[in-house]
Chains A and B, each alone.
Chain A
Amino acid sequence: MNELIVSGLSVKPQDATLVKDASFTLKPGDLIAVLGPNGAGKTSLLRGALGLIAINNGQAKLNRTATADLSPMVRAQSVAYLPQARPLAWPNCVRDVVALGRFAHGATLGRLGEADAEAVDAAIAACGVAHLAQRQTDTLSGGELARVHCARAFAAKAPLLIADEPVAALDPRHQFRIMDMIRGFVDDGGGAMVVLHDVALAARYASRMIWMKDGVIVADGSPAETLTQQRIADIYDVRAKVDGLNVRLDGAI
């Protein structure tokens, strides 16, 4: 059973408190949307949970081992992590970038083993970038690049996926396509945790929503339970109309 269990986690570098006493569990079958305004501590929560930054209190455990104690290789085999998109250092070809998703399995670019090549090709096909496989990444549009990064994460074949704003700066169609891929990953037995800024998109796809403000998780539950006009007003200081899973934002309060 692959489970990421976070309890009482706090991240306090120097004087700032980025995350305070946060607890959640990510397991296969979950599609968790993490919501909250800029600076709410979403990225720090993910990094702390993965053991990428020092945590000051609490625990983050992956299959009973603290994530900070896991070797990066072992961690990567259980959790694929997509940080906020950064430009690539070199104009590699798309297939090589996706193949980097197999790094934790020992893949060497240009000399992929059979299992690695199979996983890479499957991920490329699933994310609809097969026609781009030999293109250099510096010739891709933002939407194409986002799908390439998704393919890289899926190629890892890790049971869990943590993605930080995977649909940022994408047009609506590409937002749906990326979220469809993540939905498909969860339907195939994965567990995903995704930072999103679009409440309506989150409500449409998520099985659970984690709402954050000022470093604190203020609510964690299904969209039906936690998505209310009051919640959106509390979290974002925005007026909204909520009707079931339909959300309309009306303006700043």
Chain B
Amino acid sequence: MSGRGLTVLLIAASALAMFAACLLGSTSMGFGRVLTALIGQGDVADQIIVWQIRLPRALAAFVVGTALGVSGAALQGLLRNPLAEPGVLGVSASAALGATLVIYYGLASLSPWVMPVAAIAGALVATAVIALAALRTRSVVTLILIGVGLSSFAGALMSLLMNFAPNPFSLSDMINWMLGSVANRSFDDLAIAAPFMLAGLGILFATKRGLSALTLGEEAASGIGLDLQKQRIFVVLGAGLATGAAVSIAGAIGFVGIVAPHIVRPFVGHDPARSLLPSGLLGGLLLVVADILVRLLPTAFELKLGVVAALIGAPAFVWIAMQRGAGHE
């Protein structure tokens, strides 16, 4: 199957999965009822369920997965490492820290805008640090290490805040944010994140050609005409914005950015540039399907999407790492 065929298939599958997400749930709704509700007709309760609960939730899962998938594919191209993902640069953790901070200080209840804006601010701070580092260093390894440092530091601060949580409610809020979920998201939540996400994805798609060049290594890429400095800054900025926006919607959801590009790569001739779009679509599809599972599993408490993603993603991560070890050394 070619890259284009894969893209078409993924678009169709994503649309189907989102429709299925509208059908399935605690109150199962028939095909016809969902369809009439979708076009704004029929029972008012049905319309509310579809338009205010299920569709925003499915769409949230999809855009979060898309942002993480595209960011992962772009970072892997930049760092020439299949194990890179948005979390590597410390952007996810810093965004989650921003959200945790406003919960700790009780600011989140002031306005629905506070939490998303704090998460995006956290992501942008991390992005700025990385962008500054990218200006100063030629080494990709240095960037990864700075990302690991940022990530650990943000994690430590979050633990500190949880340690000092003023009451069980804010502790539970913080935990929710760290675990990652798309439950009870509205179109408003998506609208607040949308400009950042679109800007980030726009930057990544506009500079994707340079990712192909980096296949040759940095010196040869520069030899064929790539401006390394600019490429690094744009990918870091784009992935930072898109990831920050994703975290502002759903909290920290890991491994989508690793798994989706890994599956896509063989279909696009292992070209990082061509892997961006299908990686995004597959990332979105994976999260929509995972979220349907989360809702359908008959557990006493609803599982968190981020937990399910990690349960599937972490073993995949280890498997990919071991394959790489066998193939390259």
Complex CA gap A87/B215 in Å reads: 9
Q: Does B222 contact A82, Cβ atoms closer than 8 Å?
A: no
Residues 101 to 156 of chain B near chain A (Cβ within 8 Å): none
Q: With A72-B227, A73-B225, A104-B225 in contact, is A109–B269 under 8 Å at CB? A: yes
Q: With A52-B219, A86-B217, A89-B214 in contact, is A104–B269 under 8 Å at CB? A: no
Complex CA gap A87/B271 in Å reads: 15
Q: With A72-B227, A89-B217, A100-B216 in contact, is A109–B270 under 8 Å at CB? A: no
Q: Does A89 contact B215, Cβ atoms closer than 8 Å?
A: yes
Q: Does A93 contact B (CB under 8 A)?
A: yes
Determine the chain A residues whose CB is within 8 A of the CB of B328 once the complex forms. 87
Complex CA gap A38/B265 in Å reads: 39
Determine the chain B residues whose CB is within 8 A of the CB of A156 once the complex forms. 224
Q: A81 — nearest CB in chain B belongs to which residue?
A: B223
Q: With A89-B80, A97-B215 in contact, is A80–B223 under 8 Å at CB? A: yes
Q: Does B223 contact A83, Cβ atoms closer than 8 Å?
A: yes
Q: Does A101 contact B (CB under 8 A)?
A: yes
Q: Does B272 contact A (CB under 8 A)?
A: yes
Q: A156 — nearest CB in chain B belongs to which residue?
A: B224
Q: Which residues of A contact B (CB under 8 A)?
A: 50, 52, 71-73, 75-77, 80-83, 86-93, 96-97, 100-101, 103-104, 108-110, 136, 138, 152, 156
Task: Name the residue in A80, A100, A108, A136 with the highest tally of chain B Cβ atoms < 10 Å from its Cβ.
Answer: A100
Q: Does B165 contact A (CB under 8 A)?
A: no
Q: Does A96 contact B269, Cβ atoms closer than 8 Å?
A: yes
Q: Does A90 contact B215, Cβ atoms closer than 8 Å?
A: yes
Overall SS of chain B's interface = helix
Q: Does B219 contact A103, Cβ atoms closer than 8 Å?
A: no
Q: With A90-B265, A90-B272, A91-B270 in contact, is A109–B223 under 8 Å at CB? A: no
Q: B266 — nearest CB in chain A belongs to which residue?
A: A91
Q: Does A83 contact B215, Cβ atoms closer than 8 Å?
A: no
Q: Does A72 contact B225, Cβ atoms closer than 8 Å?
A: yes
Q: Does A96 contact B223, Cβ atoms closer than 8 Å?
A: no
Determine the chain A residues whose CB is within 8 A of the CB of B268 once the complex forms. 110
Determine the chain B residues whose CB is within 8 A of the CB of A80 once the complex forms. 223-224
Determine the chain A residues whose CB is within 8 A of the CB of B269 once the complex forms. 92-93, 96, 109-110
Residue contacts A-B, CB under 8 angstroms, 7 given: A52-B223, A72-B225, A77-B225, A81-B220, A89-B81, A90-B215, A92-B271
Taking the nearest CB of chain A, how far is it from the CB of B79, in angstroms?
9
